[in-house]
Structure 1
Amino acid sequence: MKRPHLLREIVEIVAITVLFFFLIRLLTQSYHVNDASMQPGLSADSYVMINKQAYLFRPPQRGDVIVFHLPTNTNIDYIRRIIGLPGDTVQIDGTQIKVNNTVLREPYVSASATPIVNTWKVPPDQYFVLGDNRPSSEDSRYWGPIPKTYIVGKAIFVYWPTDKLKIIDTPNLAP
């Protein structure tokens, strides 16, 4: 008589485990940082956890580190920091970034020099993203702002390697 009871408990445990797994996959995703574009904050070969539901109830903010589909090939995902919001004017003069004519304070940038000098007007529902390591980052300077629909999620913490374990914060970059 105890066998049906044990079998039912095993089926319940498996069902709860599968449900829990799918719920976690719906809310979060792992991302492998495979280049130096976000150094020093995120080093190559780091793994970060992203919150896929972060922008369900609020829009992305300036300073957020996001994972998104590359505009030129949506099968590839990149990780970069949001610098310009919809409606912003982003100016790069070779050494500094201005958003709406105000210089951004960027304590996370390893090297601010960039050979690109240009001005972009960020369209509605799009975001201007840059890597923290400007000299070695492909970003919106090359392919323009990214549509909100291309954003996969917000990077929330680094979990590998374990000696780099940390929460990824969003600095106040209000221009």
Structure 2
Amino acid sequence: MESLESQKEEIRGAAKKTAAKSTWRELAESILIALVLAFVIRFFLFQPFYIPSASMEPTLRPLDRIIVSKINYWFHPPAHSDIIVFKFPVDPSRDFVKRVIGVGGDTVEVRNNQLIRNGEVVAEPYLAPLQMKNFGPVKVPEGQYFVMGDNRNFSDDSRYWGFVPDENVIGKAVLLYWPIDRIQVVKGV
């Protein structure tokens, strides 16, 4: 009888050890899966980005935080009015955020404080009244973008350093998430 009891005790002890190992293994697997998902989301799907300057006011303000979707442009290229984040062509170690004004084949100019694309005045209701220097016309090469900040008088943009190549585009600004009182979907026009 004693041997039967001792066998039962051995089985219970082994079951407890197995349960402890299973708990630790499940915890380790859960952490590993969470890390892999975080890596995939951060580096392949979405990326947080903060606004470092006033070049996109009034749409985006300094120190705003946005989510940039890297998947939007897997299916179609950036379009007029999209707000994009891209690697600065002059110094790819820096990221910029600007609005797409012209795409490949467009002719862009600024005349009499109005943006003109392909010979037509572009309505820009998101802009505050401003005074812009005349610029252009310039033709946007295929596979490149002409971008400008919404705060046109204080924006370092395509008027000064040229076009953004397609391969420099990181993604589309889709959500303003900070500060909390300004949470909103980021839209073009």
- Whether these two folds match at TM > 0.5 is yes
1:16 aligns with 2:19: no
Structure 2 equivalent of residue 137 of structure 1: 155
Structure 2 equivalent of residue 29 of structure 1: 47
- Decide whether the 8 Å contact of 1:30 with 1:48 is kept in 2: yes
Structure 2 runs not aligned, ≥5 long = 1-14
Output the TM-score relative to the length of structure 2.
0.87
Structure 1 equivalent of residue 144 of structure 2: 126
1:62 aligns with 2:80: yes
SS, match of residue 68 in structure 1? strand
- Decide whether the 8 Å contact of 1:126 with 1:148 is kept in 2: yes
- Decide whether the 8 Å contact of 1:116 with 1:141 is kept in 2: no
Indicate the structure with greater strand content.
1
Indicate the structure with greater helix content.
2
CA distance in structure 2 between the partners assigned to 1:85 and 1:112 by the alignment: 24
State the shift of 1:112 in Å. Answer: 4.0
Structure 2 equivalent of residue 104 of structure 1: 122
- Decide whether the 8 Å contact of 1:94 with 1:117 is kept in 2: no
Change beyond 3 A, Cα 1:78–1:111: farther
Matched residue type, 1:7: W
Matched residue type, 1:160: W
1:7 aligns with 2:24: yes
Which aligned segments of 4 or more residues in structure 1 are displaced greater than 2 angstroms? none
CA distance in structure 2 between the partners assigned to 1:97 and 1:41 by the alignment: 17
Number of aligned residues = 171
Over the aligned positions, Cα root-mean-square deviation in angstroms equals 1.1
Structure 1 runs not aligned, ≥5 long = none
State the shift of 1:111 in Å. Answer: 3.5
* Percent identity over paired residues: 37
Output the TM-score relative to the length of structure 1.
0.94
- Higher alpha-carbon Rg: 2
CA distance in structure 1 between the partners assigned to 2:184 and 2:174 by the alignment: 9
